Amino acid sequence: MLIFEFKVKAKSIQYSAIDEAIRTAQFIRNKCLRFWIDNEKVSKYDLNKYSAVLASEFSFADKLNSMARQSSAERAWSAISRFYDNCKKNRAGLKGYPKFQKNNRSVEYKTTGWKLAENRKAITMTDKNGIGKLKLCGARDLNFYQLEQIKRVRLVRRADGYYAQFAISVERTEVSTATGNTLGLDVGLESFCTDSNGHKIQNPRFYRLGEIKMKRAQKLVSRKIKRSSNRNKARVKLGKVHLKISRQRKDFAIKLARCVIQSSDLIAYEDLRIKNLVKNHCLAKSINDAGWYQFRLWLEYFGKVFGRITIAVNPAYTSAECSDCGMIVKKSLSTRTHVCQCGCVLDRDENAAVNILTRAIGRTGHVGTLGLDSINASGETTTTLVDENLLEQVVS
């Protein structure tokens, strides 16, 4: 599934109609959640039926397209099913009981309620909200895909304007040649990541760099009178600062992950639990600023696209264990050099990256120069040589 996003250009009255559609979607989602709370044994299909009942009871809900109402009901069921899954898995701590939305920012249509122009440069919303024709501004070209492939259309409100997202049903694959390289990655705060070859990537620290502008914008919001137009303007300005930081972090993760995937046939990384790491209040801001989990998601995505093997390794003792002799050398966070009795002297992060790669290869068996040619387009591995170990970890 590919997601194409376009900036929407329209009149102010159309923007107000989009806001009304977003509020209606939030209303239906919250009413479906309340219906689930008040009744027993409610299923996903019951919520879809209840969205039609809401349309008959409330005139503003009837203005929204029927499939858009179903999408809002499905959002409520998504939160409910996630809560059920956490309970079944006996997840420690809070189970994520569904909450009512207060600030929804999008409305989702399925296959009806919209119509694309012939040149695919504009979209017309055909429901009763009066949104009308919206101009699409972006570099993507929808002419390469059939209308039947567009499964969802979302209208999203952000701090810098409104956007239209198209969910296109197509599998993305890119042809790549085997490099014969394997790589282990150790993420950190001093440097964003260090590979098993000793190369370091500098930590960009986007949040830290934008913190001055953020504090200045936050002061402007706090000085304005509540519910005034000047306060709303200040809030929009603050939202743009946060939006820029999130986009910078995402762009960095995408470019770095694509580069790493194209450079090696097997990439090993730490299976970190970020939720547990941020409990350290001294390092929580820096850990969240680094965006390790987002980088991991893009690694796994590009691994599937290019047919590479990505392996998550248990991070326990990767920094303490000597990559040469295997002895455990305890060290504090301030100690940046690994020194072992066997004579091994390495950078702390490089030592950890080597250990991560060693554990990954130990799990997958022998990875030769062209033991990776057996990876097919779907990312599954097959044996090609006699007496070769079957790879246990397929592309994520």
Tell me: do 130 and 186 sit in the same domain: no
Tell me: do 143 and 264 sit in the same domain: no
Distance between CA atoms of 70 and 48, rounded to whole angstroms?
Answer: 5
Overall average pLDDT of the 367-377 stretch = 37
Residue 308 lies in a domain: yes
Residue 220 lies in a domain: no
Residue 345 lies in a domain: yes
Q: Which residue in 69, 8, 347, 38 sits closest to 188, CA to CA?
A: 347
Tell me: do 143 and 35 sit in the same domain: yes
> What are the backbone angles phi and psi of residue 191, rounded to the nearest 5°?
-125, 145
- Transcribe 358-373 into DSSP letters: HHHHHHH----TTSST
Tell me: do 121 and 267 sit in the same domain: no
Q: pLDDT tens-digit profile of 255-299?
A: 999 999 999 989 999 988 888 888 888 889 999 999 999 999 999
pLDDT on residue 77:
95
Domain hosting 360: range is 182-203+260-364
Q: pLDDT tens-digit profile of 73-91?
A: 999 999 999 999 999 988 8
Residue 14 contacts by C-beta under 8 Å, 6 or more apart in sequence?
Answer: 130, 131, 132, 134
Average pLDDT, the chain: 86
Overall average pLDDT of the 302-326 stretch = 88
Tell me: do 95 and 197 sit in the same domain: no
Whether the per-residue pLDDT at 396 is higher than 50: the answer is: no
Whether the per-residue pLDDT at 154 is higher than 50: the answer is: yes
pLDDT on residue 255:
94
Tell me: do 199 and 325 sit in the same domain: yes
Whether the per-residue pLDDT at 389 is higher than 70: the answer is: no
Residue 379 lies in a domain: no
Overall average pLDDT of the 286-313 stretch = 91
Cα 172 to chain centroid, rounded: 17
Tell me: do 18 and 143 sit in the same domain: yes
Q: pLDDT tens-digit profile of 189-242?
A: 989 999 888 899 999 999 999 999 999 999 999 999 888 999 999 999 999 999
Give the type of residue at 154: R
Residue 356 lies in a domain: yes
Residue 229 lies in a domain: no
Q: pLDDT tens-digit profile of 328-367?
A: 888 888 888 888 888 888 888 888 899 899 888 887 654 4
Tell me: do 135 and 270 sit in the same domain: no
pLDDT on residue 94:
85
Q: Which residue in 364, 391, 389 sits closest to 380, CA to CA?
A: 391
- The backbone region for 373, taken as left when phi is positive above 0, alpha when psi lies in -120 to 50, beta otherwise, is alpha
User: Which pTM was predicted?
Assistant: 0.83
Tell me: do 158 and 59 sit in the same domain: yes
Tell me: do 192 and 142 sit in the same domain: no
Overall average pLDDT of the 94-116 stretch = 92
Distance between CA atoms of 194 and 182, rounded to whole angstroms?
Answer: 14
Whether the per-residue pLDDT at 138 is higher than 70: the answer is: yes
Distances from the Cα of 113 to the Cα of 101, 131, 162, 263, angstroms:
24, 11, 18, 44
Tell me: do 131 and 11 sit in the same domain: yes
Residue 354 lies in a domain: yes
Distance between CA atoms of 198 and 338, rounded to whole angstroms?
Answer: 13
Token pair 């919209």 in the structure block, residue: 114
Q: What angle do CA 126, 132, 134 make, to 5 degrees?
A: 115
Tell me: do 157 and 270 sit in the same domain: no
Residue 228 lies in a domain: no
Residue 270 contacts by C-beta under 8 Å, 6 or more apart in sequence?
Answer: 185, 186, 187, 312, 313, 315, 318, 356
Q: What is the 3-state secondary structure of 205-217?
A: CHHHHCHHHHHHH
How many structural domains comprise the chain? 2
